[in-house]
Amino acid sequence: MTPTLHEWLHQSPLTGIFLTLLAYRVALSISRRYHGHPLANTVLVGAGLLIVSLLALGLSFDEYFRGAGFIQFLLGPVTVALAIPLYNNLARLKRSAFAILCSIVVGSVAGVASAVLIAVAFDLPPQIVLSLAPRSATTPIAIGVAEAIGGIPTLAAAFVIVTGIIGAVLARPLLALLRMNDDVVLGVATGIAAHGIGTARVFQISETAGAFAGLAMGLTGFVTAVVAPLLVHFLLS
């Protein structure tokens, strides 16, 4: 028996894939229209448009994800591809490797500590504090760390995404305010604080910034996975 039109719309992966591409294309036009204004961020606007259209069409996130999962899958190979821009910046990386590695360690620790301390100051319940701790790392690492330290994995994933969007929006205006114009500084800080979403954002600004954001994102993941459990134990004891 062939499904009705309504059932097909809810079941076909085509719906999710098409809606995602459409939302992205519209977000891209809006971003260009406002000359790359930070608030016209393509992930922020695209996801916003998509949420509105899912609610309007009565599609659940699970139905949407049947198609969108294919798009999200490409994050894997694209993450691997970050090695190419990084290699293109090999000279700069060699020159500043020590400074960059130190900043990534300091920044990763600051990422975990700031979330835990501020959450405690706001009197949030322990499970939420623990889910916030790994929020600067990429999603798979944050989920693993949250699980290991007693947080809620799905909540941790949500915090990661919101953190990424906040970081992607704020990184450039903040550094411009501080008169920090080095693409390497922009890239490293954004990669530490806002993982892949921030990396995608700074790629729109400069390939160098994107390359160093990708490196910082990867290494912040390593450091967070190793340091977060110890640091959280220390801060909360």
Partner 1 sequence: MIETFLWLLGYQFAGELLARSLGWPIPGAVLGMLFLFLTLCVRKGIPDTLRHNVPRLMTHMSLLFIPAGAGILAFWPLLAERPLAMAAVLLLSTLATLLISALTLTLLLRRQQGRKARP
Residue from 128, 205, 235, 236 in contact with partner 1 (CB under 8 A) = 128
For partner 1, what does the binding mask look like between residues 9 and 28, x meaning CB under 8 A? -------x---xx-xx--x-
> Residue 5 or 136: which CB sits closer to partner 1?
136
Check residue 230 for interaction with partner 1 (CB under 8 A): no
> Residue 3 or 81: which CB sits closer to partner 1?
81
Check residue 149 for interaction with partner 1 (CB under 8 A): no
CB of 124 to partner 1, least distance (A): 6
Q: Which stretch binds partner 1 (CB under 8 A): 7-15, 32-40, 129-137?
A: 129-137
Check residue 236 for interaction with partner 1 (CB under 8 A): no
Check residue 57 for interaction with partner 1 (CB under 8 A): no
Q: Taking Cα atoms as reference points, which of 143, 140, 144, 135 lies closest to residue 167?
A: 135
Residues contacting 112, CB < 8 A, separation 6+: 133, 134, 136, 224, 227, 228, 231, 232
Check residue 89 for interaction with partner 1 (CB under 8 A): no
> Residue 3 or 21: which CB sits closer to partner 1?
21
Site for partner 1, residues 153 to 172, rule: CB under 8 A: 154-155, 157-159, 161-167, 170-171
Q: Are 153 and 168 in contact (CB under 8 A)?
A: no
